[in-house]
Amino acid sequence: MSNTDRVPTPNQWKEHIKRLTAGGASYADVRYYSEDLSGNISLHNGNLVNPYSGGSGIAQQSESGYGVRCLYGGAWGFAASSDPAQITATFDRALDNAKTAAGRVSFPIRLADKEVLSGEFVSPCARDPFDVPIEEQIAFLNGLDAVLNQTGVAQRAINLSATRTKIEYYDSEGAEIRKQIINFFPSMTVMGRGTSGDMQRRTYKPPRLGESRGWEIMDPEHWHTEGERLVRELNELLVAPACPVDTRSVIILPDMMFLQVHETIGHALELDRILGYELSFAGGSFVRLEDFGNLQYGSTRLTARADATVPNSPGSFGYDDDGVAAQNRLLIDRGTLVGAISSRQTVTEANAKAGRDIFAGSGGANRACAFNRTPIERMTNINIDPGNDGNLDDIIADTERGIIVSGDRSWSIGSNREQFHFATEIAWLVEDGKRCGVVRNPSYQGMTLDFYRSLTAVGDASTWEVHYVPNCGKGAPGQIMQLGHGIPVCRFDNVKVGE
Amino acid sequence: MTRNIRSKNSPVFVFDTLNQLREHALTRGVRATFSWQREDSRLVRYANSAISLNTTEDVTRLYVTALEARRSVSTSAVIDPYDVPAMLRIVDRAIEMLPHASEIHYARTMPCLSEDTYTEANFDPELATIDGAEITAFVERATRGLETDDIMLSGNFSTGVCERAEMSTASPHINYWRGTDAGITLVLSSLKDKWEINAEQFVWRRADLDPESIYERLAWMREQYLTRPGVRLPLGAYSIVLGNAALSEYAFFLSYLSASGRMEKLGYSMLSTDDVGKQVLSPLCTMVEDPALLATFPVPVDSYGRHRERRAIFDRGVFTGFIREQSEADEYGEIPTGHDVTQLSLALLPGDRDVRTIQEFAALPRDRDILYIPYLHYVGLVNPSAGLITGTSRFGALFLKQDGSIELPYNVRLTLSLRDLFGKHLSWLSAYSEPYGSSSSYGARNPGTVLVPVLGGFEDVEIEISNESF
Ligand SMILES: [Zn+2]
């Protein structure tokens, strides 16, 4: 859609929507992405090269286009295009697609009522990464690379990944929303081959570092300190003994616990998964509609929420792609399952199928990753409330025999999210309330409900960090989404650790 | 009119377009590569026995890399395929950014095609024009009479035309590919009991669409799931039989963690240069990369114009060496092997067991209990250097008991080393192969498959989590 003189005005978009409703659509919306820009700069062992493709270390990608969604006869139709000459045809195609889909409807789609809003959302960013001269970014990377280039480090990879998206949204109910979202995901990794022959690695992906997430988070002092820590920990890993294979307490730091929550609370509580909309690929959920209000998901220490109002997180986006404003909803209240990650469509269907009003309106979590994808239930910020078990030192002191795990390395989860296996980058053994040495190749596994019911310590607010997820995959066709998790240190007892 | 990706003139149109970009870069005195990807895709998605999404998209992407010997910058964009001035701006953007890049420590090789290559072996005009009504008719036929109030249909029918082309300023030649594909996954699941079974098909021409084989598998599996008892298997070692989907997943990771030269350089390979020429897997295991395998959507020449040839990666278990891309050759002084392609054409060659389907296999007499795992869900790389991966069974495991009866095991987790799986555990492979789709990506449509035997037998494989219900 580079030919901007052919881009419709707001009124013209609305006219196209009116044409669809006049043609029989009971609802229609359009999302126009005037800009969807992503930039990537990678430094690998001092070279501006993408370590995984071997391609250029500087890459910039831009997209622009529009997606039209409409309801006809209780079924969705969708069509998208990047060609401004095809707008009328694309709207028509969306309605045609809905008419085809209406030939096979089992539960006619109805959208929950919403407050019709006009609004604007701009994500907090003091210095747009796309405005930072490439030379300045490279100078930063070279300075950091010098810190990482030390004995024991065989591979050094630093990556700066940024996106800037401008979206206009219009629907047949009168909503009109504009969003500009800048996301910035820097990271650094060091790798080295240990005495056992295995490759070990340490990675730093910063949690929320303040009130905004532009280039201002690239404070050299902070990054150099973190870089020194990574190198130190990598060198400890290179000579560390293997993780024991046994059953013990696991203390999970927020930089790993976010992924545990993501996979076994977040995905498990997406209402489209619960209703069976992802069974052809991503999977379902062990949760059933009758579980809401009844299921003991975890110990009473566990309170989880979907909070799209957390300041400065990719899981906070102002309005979802149903035009619903950001929500803060409880998912698990002191151990009991009470809520889900939901949209206008799924709450209506779930309430009807359950025969009771479980959900009061949409949870505001319907999001699409691009103009050519339809919105589906996506996590916002799926958080665990801080607890009353003190700070990390207090929790360690209270642990007889355990292991502290940090840094995600691999994740594999059952298709209904009923069980899991995680490997982490590093771990420290805990004996008699004291942190002992590092062990390599740590992993742990469990059954989701047994695991959360064995939650025996939740760190206080001093341990609570907001971690970002840049790459949550879901849907068919596939979609990658950005979101967040506010997470304290957590301890679980009787967990199987080791391979 | 050239506006249609299905048109006979489309290859010429793409050549003309890329050549305009090429001439523009040459005028500006810059070396550059251009790559084009266009798709016209249709997806009909089913959930809860309804069409949950019916979507079409016509998207074109342009990728440009401007480069000097030691500097490069890439830009890409979703474009209007007829808006050349906008494409030139993407070229200009790369050219403008290039001086700002710092030099790398080695020189990059510029792709230089010495001839035009037009490949349309996987393009089927019949499949290219399949419409929504024909897709829904296929699904109706493949699932007729199998749904109930409790048993719901889910699935995807994803199809499209895809067109890719490459050119560089080094020569006025094009490497063009156009193909069609359809990937079908149909799932039946019980709302009440939460079991799920599936059938899949990956084809490039309409004549290969076979709703009857999907129906036969779904109907047979459904019968088992309605009449046999569910069982939680005790942890321990089992004789297992893997289906086509599970085998392709393991075969893909085997190639990724052993054949990929880039993974070796990153230290993430389960093999090293010391393993070349050694027997590292079972003699039953031969894996090839073969551009003659039409089912894998091959290209005859790679991005650097090298004619591709069949080579074994594992020849009866002997590791023949790493696949090396040009960028590894440039950076590490290796010799490129002609594998700079969008999708490898991988096949795990068939064995000698004369069995075509799980239906047939289950009817054979057996001298032990056998756990059938059709599909592997959500594989994690626990320790890449050890080839250790983990995943969970899905879509209809069966426990085929020695006495001829069948039980329905709840899903189990396998955490194992690929070296062991394709080494000491591998017992037999079916004599028949089928392609399994690997094109389900999060980005552009680029069809690809791995060709693997329909069934494979493995002995003494440990399960480490056994679910408490379906
Ligand atoms: Zn995810």
Residue-range domains of chain B with CATH: 10-227 (3.30.2290.10), 230-466 (no CATH)
- Closest Cα in chain B to A372: B57
CA gap A125, A374 in Å, rounded: 27
Element (H, E) at A180: strand A176-193
- Closest Cα in chain B to A155: B266
Count of A-B CB contacts under 8 Å: 280
Task: Kindly determine whether residue A65 and residue B78, on different chains, have CB atoms separated by under 8 Å.
Answer: yes
Supply the pTM of this predicted model: 0.96
Q: Are residues A119 and A176 in the same domain?
A: yes
pLDDT of A170 > 60? The answer is: yes
pLDDT tens column, B84-110: 999 999 999 999 999 999 999 999 999
Q: Are residues A363 and A302 in the same domain?
A: yes
What residues of chain B lie within 8 A of the CB of A377, using their CB? none
Q: Which amino acid is at B384?
A: P
pLDDT at B69: 85
The one-character DSSP state at B259 is I
Residue B48 Cα to ligand 1 midpoint, Å, equals: 22
Residues B189/B30, Cβ–Cβ less than 8 Å: no
Q: Are residues A29 and A57 in the same domain?
A: yes
At A477, the pLDDT band (50, 70, 90 cuts) reads confident
Nearest CB to A135 within list B52, B100, B383 = B100
Q: Quick one: what percent of chain B has pLDDT higher than 70?
A: 98
pLDDT of A107 > 70? The answer is: yes
What residues of chain A lie within 8 A of the CB of B147, using their CB? none
At A4, the pLDDT band (50, 70, 90 cuts) reads low
Q: Are residues A206 and A271 in the same domain?
A: no
Query: How high does pLDDT run on average in chain B?
Result: 95
CA gap A406, A353 in Å, rounded: 41
Tokens standing for residue B339:
């594998």
pLDDT tens column, A43-102: 999 999 999 999 999 999 999 999 999 999 999 999 998 888 889 999 999 999 999 999
DSSP B407-451: EEEPPEEEEEEHHHHTTTTEEEEBS-EEEEE----SSS----EEE
Q: Are residues A229 and A280 in the same domain?
A: no
pLDDT of B141 > 80? The answer is: yes
Compute φ and ψ for B248, nearest 5 degrees. Answer: -65, -35
* Mean pLDDT computed over A324-344: 98
Q: Are residues A222 and A251 in the same domain?
A: no
Domain that holds residue A407: 246-497
Q: Are residues A233 and A250 in the same domain?
A: no
Question: What is the number of structural domains in chain A?
Answer: 2
Q: Are residues A320 and A231 in the same domain?
A: no
Which of A213, A238, A263 delimits the end of a domain?
Answer: A238
At B438, the pLDDT band (50, 70, 90 cuts) reads low
Closest CA to B60 of B42, B33, B87: B87
Task: Kindly determine whether residue B390 and residue A57, on different chains, have CB atoms separated by under 8 Å.
Answer: no
pLDDT of B1 > 50? The answer is: no
Q: Quick one: what percent of chain A has pLDDT higher than 90?
A: 95
CA gap B313, B349 in Å, rounded: 11
* Mean pLDDT computed over B118-135: 96
DSSP B284-323: T--EEE-TT-GGG---SB-TT-PBP--EEEEETTEE---B
pLDDT of B324 > 80? The answer is: yes
Task: Kindly determine whether residue B77 and residue A106, on different chains, have CB atoms separated by under 8 Å.
Answer: no
CA gap B433, A361 in Å, rounded: 50
pLDDT of B442 > 70? The answer is: no
Residues B382/A443, Cβ–Cβ less than 8 Å: yes
pLDDT at A3: 56
Q: Are residues A256 and A331 in the same domain?
A: yes
Looking up tokens 């990574």 gives: A230
Looking up tokens 């890049």 gives: B101
Residues B55/A79, Cβ–Cβ less than 8 Å: yes
The CA angle B76-B78-B84, to the nearest 5 degrees, is 85
Q: Are residues A222 and A345 in the same domain?
A: no
DSSP A49-80: B-TTT-SBSEEEEEEEEEEEEEEETTEEEEEE
Q: Are residues A130 and A273 in the same domain?
A: no
At A415, the pLDDT band (50, 70, 90 cuts) reads very high
Which of A216, A238, A260 delimits the end of a domain?
Answer: A238
Q: Are residues A209 and A303 in the same domain?
A: no
Tokens standing for residue A466:
């907001």
> What's the distance, CA B419 to chain centroid?
21
Which of A210, A238, A266 delimits the end of a domain?
Answer: A238
At B440, the pLDDT band (50, 70, 90 cuts) reads low
Task: Kindly determine whether residue B187 and residue A415, on different chains, have CB atoms separated by under 8 Å.
Answer: no
CA gap B157, B136 in Å, rounded: 9
Pick the residue of A145, A421, A450 with the most B CBs within 10 A to test the interface with B by mutation. A421
Query: How high does pLDDT run on average in chain A?
Result: 96
Q: Helices A10-22 and A87-101 sit at what angle, rounded to 10 degrees? A: 30
A29: domain CATH number is: 3.30.2290.10
